[in-house]
Amino acid sequence: MLRRIRVILAVLFFLAVTGLFLDFTGTIHAWLGWTAKIQFLPAVLALNVGVVLFLVVLTLILGRVYCSVICPLGVMQDIISWLSGRRKKKRFRFSYSPEVKWSRYGVLAVFIVALLAGIGSLVALFAPYSSYGRIVSNLFAPLYQWGNNLLAYFAERADSYAFYETEVWMKGLGTFIVAAVTFIVIAVLAWRNGRTYCNTICPVGTVLGFLSRYALFRPVIDAGKCKECGLCSRKCKVSCINYKEFRIDYSRCVDCMDCIDTCKHGAIHFACRLKKSEPAKEEGKPVDTARRGFLTATAVVAASATLQAQEKKVDGGLAVIEDKKIPVRATRIVPPGALGIRHFEQHCTACQLCVSVCPNGVLRPSSGMMTLMQPEMSYERGYCRPECMRCSEVCPAGAIRPITVADKSATHIGHAVWVRENCIPLTDGVSCGNCARHCPVWAILMVPSDPENPDSPKIPVVNEERCIGCGACENLCPARPFSAIYVEGHEVHHEG
């Protein structure tokens, strides 16, 4: 019974969280966004006291049900392990092993140090929810999107607008490789030994395990009834039941209830610790500490070839459009709601949820060493559209705070800078002004390039005070592969 409840809840949570990463239309976030927000590390980084308190209390009462039900990476391992167990003679393939303390606490120590030192890439590497997000958004989302595109293909032919095509693209090679390696390692471990990852590596598992030692309810072996058959131990995917001594290691037990269902003698019960329930001291996790500043790179804007207008002699055909290249930005750009680069780095768990939902192809994981996998913005494929607030709606870690359309249009995340060498009116001798035409805050004016001659080609001038850094100008600039106007990020966003 308890096991069945656990399985049903786990499947529901798992589908919900997975859905968040797959649904590029942004419809289910309104209903299920909370399943990401109650994840442990994002909640800690978001300073979401309510959720953290709830999870701590939950663990103190029921043990590590979080790991069995809420954590998608844990459930993913359960699924893989379950598939593995369906093979012949593999149903009872586990055995008791002692706790690997050095690994658990070692990783936790590294993790906390990384968190304090601001090495976001290392934090993101170990965080279970982030790992799962990366795996889904890098490995499974493309499959889902291709499936959708196939439906869109048929819908188009049936004159239906139920499905629309979405672009599938490699957002970051580094992150993709990390995701693939993580998935392979965890899948192999789960296939062979169940939840090895959760009790030797996962820092969240270690923290919760520390609390669950004192959990009010936990499975206990009734030594009187136990026949020492060892079936429970061989079914335990966390290898924490020492049946010979009738002991269970509660720091590793994830309350999956498999043992209770397995025991043929009714010797295991989920029972209340009646003796003394000493209040566990909450492990304070300082997260507000200042971190290292962001390294600023030198800006070298390569001179770029521009698309040359050719004389038209025949009718029809489409000009070849060269892909845009990413300009070297002295300061990277993070989304409105992030408040600034430091705040963003302090809170982001690099779960890729915002990257998955960005409908404009703007967000992608960073490839920098210190910020590897943390999202950043670039405008080759689209720009940060004024009506879109998707990333701020979905961020579970408070790295991107919720924002309104009005606030967004007043939040300066960067400013546009102009590159004379690329500007079409000067290189091609045609009138343009596409940047000024599309600026949502009218921060760009077209002025004659020669102050003495009002008929000279008009060039854009940027009012940095007004510019919000949305990138419409950069994205829609006809100069290729490098735009003649591009956005430099702001370290700290300001409003007004």
Which residues form the interface with another protein (CB under 8 A)? Answer: 156, 161, 164-165, 307-321, 382, 385-387, 424, 428, 430-434, 437-438, 476, 478
Among 401, 409, 399, 404, smallest CA distance to 496 is for 409
404/483 Cα distance (integer angstroms) = 29
- Residue closer to another protein by CB (options 202, 484) is 484
Comparing CB distances to another protein, the nearer of 278 and 311 is: 311
Nearer to another protein, 1 or 321 (CB): 321
Instruction: Give least dist CB 145 to another protein, A.
Output: 15
Quickly list H helices, 23-127.
Answer: 29-32, 34-37, 40-45, 49-62, 65, 72-85, 101-117, 120-126
Are 194 and 81 contacting, i.e. CB atoms less than 8 angstroms apart?
A: yes
Structure tokens that stand for 254 in this block: 């994830």
**Token pair of 110, please?**
């590294």
* Shortest distance, position 380 Cβ to another protein, whole Å: 11
Q: CA separation (Å) from 15 to 11, 30, 35, 453?
A: 6, 15, 10, 64
CB burial class (10 A; 0-12, 13-18, 19+) of residue 149?
middle
Phi-psi label, residue 486: left if phi above 0, alpha if psi -120 to 50, beta otherwise: beta
- Nearest distance from C-beta of residue 314 to another protein, angstroms: 4
d(CA 400, CA 397) in angstroms, rounded, equals 8
How near is the Cβ of 93 to another protein at its closest, in Å? 50
Nearer to another protein, 119 or 423 (CB): 423
Cα-Cα end-to-end distance for the chain: 57
* 137 vs 475, beta carbon nearer another protein: 475
| Of residues 64, 95, 36, the one with CA closest to residue 233 | 95
Min separation Cβ 325 and another protein, Å: 14
Q: Of the two residues 298 and 310, which places its CB atom closer to another protein in the complex?
A: 310
3-state secondary structure of 238: coil
Nearer to another protein, 206 or 422 (CB): 422
Closest distance of CB 115 from another protein, Å: 39
Closest separation between CB of residue 382 and another protein, Å?
8
Shortest separation between residue 20's beta carbon and another protein, angstroms = 23
Minimum separation from the CB atom of position 156 to another protein (A) = 6
Rounded alpha-carbon distances, angstroms, from residue 101 to 202, 234, 252: 12, 22, 11
By beta-carbon proximity to another protein, the closer residue of 429 and 451 is 429
CB of 217 to another protein, least distance (A): 50
Query: Tell me, what DSSP letter sits at residue 308?
Result: P
Of the pair 366, 422, the CB lying nearest another protein is at 422
Residue 327 in tokens = 């300009």
CA 143, 361, 39 angle in degrees (round to 5)?
70
Q: How far is CA 415 from the centre of its chain?
A: 26
Run of H or E including 385: none
Report in angstroms how near the CB of residue 405 gets to another protein at its nearest.
8
Of 285, 295, 301, 287, which Cα lies nearest the Cα of 371? 295
Q: Which two tokens stand for residue 382?
A: 């689209």
Quote the tokens at residue 374: 């943390």
* DSSP bridge partners of 416: 487
188/182 Cα distance (integer angstroms): 10
**Residue among 52 and 477 whose Cβ is closer to another protein:** 477
Structure-block tokens of residue 404: 């309104």
Name the one residue in this structure whose structure tokens are 């601001």. Answer: 118
Closer of 437 and 494 to another protein (Cβ)? 437
Residue 468 beta carbon to another protein: minimum distance, rounded to whole angstroms: 15
The runs of H, that is alpha helices, within 194-244 are 196-200, 203-212, 231-235
285 or 420, CB closer to another protein?
A: 420
